Each structure stands twice: as structure tokens, then as C-alpha cells.
Amino acid sequence: MSNRGKMLFALFMGCGYILIGTIQIITGILQVVSGDTGSSYMTAVAGALFIPPDIVAGMILMLIGCVFIYGVSEIHSGVREGIAYVYVGILLSLIFAGIYMLAATGDFLEAHLLNSEDYINWSVIDALRPEIYMGVLSLLTYLKWKGSFELKKS
């Protein structure tokens, strides 16, 4: 896979993460300020994309997005090491997908093994977060490009 392909992928992932992160932060702020997220256009989008209101998580998503975009700008200006950012972006994306999957496992145990009151309405759909589906996207791409991330001395 050429660097151009990687650049396009990074551009897509970067924009995606930043967009989702922005929505997550805004809905998070709305929730803090007004107590609930209300019913705005924003919350409808957030709901459709399974984005829970969460300021800190949103900031992390934006950060991952920035790592991808940083890579795009480096590759674009001819720095070959720029793919390092794509590689680490994928890595971070996988790490956070892993964290939320394990957290979901915790919720699952809570709901089905312990039958806790707070988790009565918990279903697998609640576990689906942008970190997870974006992570799956990263995983698929990584598997496809595996091994092409090393720069040999030319």
C-alpha cells in the first residue's frame, strides 16, 4: 500500500475522530449546563452515532483525530516518517477500543451475573461507543497493512 493510501485513510479517520469528539464534548457540556441533553439536532446526531455525552472521552477522541491529521500533514509535506503518526493513531484507536470493551465486559457482568439494580436496563447496545466501532475500523486497516510500517534504510 502506498503512502497515498495511508494518507487518505488517516485523513478520513482524523476527520471522523475530531467530528465525533466535537459532538461528544458539546453534548457533554450541554448535559452539565442544562442537566439533560434536551432534544436538539446535535443530540439526534449523537444518538444515531451512539455517542454518549462525555467531555473527557470527547477530548481523547479529538486527540486521536489530531494524531492522524498530524500524520497527514507530515506525509503531505513529504516527510516519510509521517506514517509513524498513522501507525500510532491506529494503536491509540485500538487501545481505547480495548479499554471500552473491557469496561463493557464489567457492565455485562454487573447486569447479568450480579443483577445489579443500576444495570437493569443495560443491554449490549449501551456498550457500543464510537471508540469501539472506530477501533474495529482501525483493526481491519491495520491487518491489511501489517508489516508495511517499517522504514528500511534506502
Partner 1 sequence: MENTKIRVALAGNPNVGKTTLFNAITGSRQHVGNWPGVTVEKKTGIRSYRGYDIEVTDLPGTYSLTAYSLDEIVARDYIIEEKPDIVIQIIDASNLERNLYLTTQLMELETEMIIALNMCDLALERGDKLYIDRMQEILAAPIVQTVASRDIGINELLDRVIEQKYNDKYHGREIGYGDIIESKVLEIEKILLTDPELSKRYPLRWMSIKLLEGDRNVRTKVGKSHVSAAINELLASIDQEEYEADIADKRYVAINAIFPQMCTRCNVRMTKSDMIDRVLTNKYLGIPIFLALMWGAFELTFAFATPFTDMIERIFLWLAVNVTSRLEPEWLASLIGDGIIGGVGAVLTFVPNIFILFFLLSLLEGSGYLARAAFIMDRLMYKIGMHGKSFIPLLMGFGCNVPAIMATRSIEDEKDRLITILVVPFVSCGARLPIYILLAGAFFGRQAGTVVFFMYVLGIVVAVISAKLLRSTIVKGKPAPFIMEMPPYRVPTLRTSIVHMWDNGAMYIKKAGTLILIGVVIIWLLASFPWGIEYGSEESYVGMMGHFFAPLLEPLGFDWKMTVALVFGLVAKEIVVASMGVLYGAGDSPEALTASLLADPAVTALSALSLMVFSLLYMPCVATLGVIKKETGSWKWTAFALAYGIAVAWIMAFFVYQGGKLLGY
Q: Which residues bind partner 1 (CB under 8 A)?
A: 56, 59-60, 63, 66-67, 70, 81, 83-85, 87-88, 91-92, 95-96, 99, 102-103, 105-107, 109-110, 113-114, 116, 149-154
User: Considering beta carbons, is residue 55 or 137 the nearer one to partner 1?
Assistant: 55
User: Considering beta carbons, is residue 16 or 82 the nearer one to partner 1?
Assistant: 82
Q: Give the C-alpha separation, 47 to 134, whole Å.
A: 16
User: Considering beta carbons, is residue 77 or 154 the nearer one to partner 1?
Assistant: 154
Q: Give the C-alpha separation, 89 to 63, whole Å.
A: 9
Amino acid identity at 27: T
3-state SS class at 98: helix
Q: Give the C-alpha separation, 136 to 105, whole Å.
A: 17
User: Considering beta carbons, is residue 42 or 99 the nearer one to partner 1?
Assistant: 99
User: Considering beta carbons, is residue 102 or 140 the nearer one to partner 1?
Assistant: 102
Distances (CA, A) of 2 to 17, 34, 83, 101: 23, 48, 11, 32
Please, what is the minimum distance in Å from the beta carbon of residue 64 to partner 1? Answer: 8
Please, what is the minimum distance in Å from the beta carbon of residue 16 to partner 1? Answer: 17
Please, what is the minimum distance in Å from the beta carbon of residue 70 to partner 1? Answer: 7
Contact predicate 60/22, CB 8 Å? no
Please, what is the minimum distance in Å from the beta carbon of residue 60 to partner 1? Answer: 5
Please, what is the minimum distance in Å from the beta carbon of residue 103 to partner 1? Answer: 4
Query: Helix crossing, 3-34 with 41-48: angle to 10°?
Result: 130
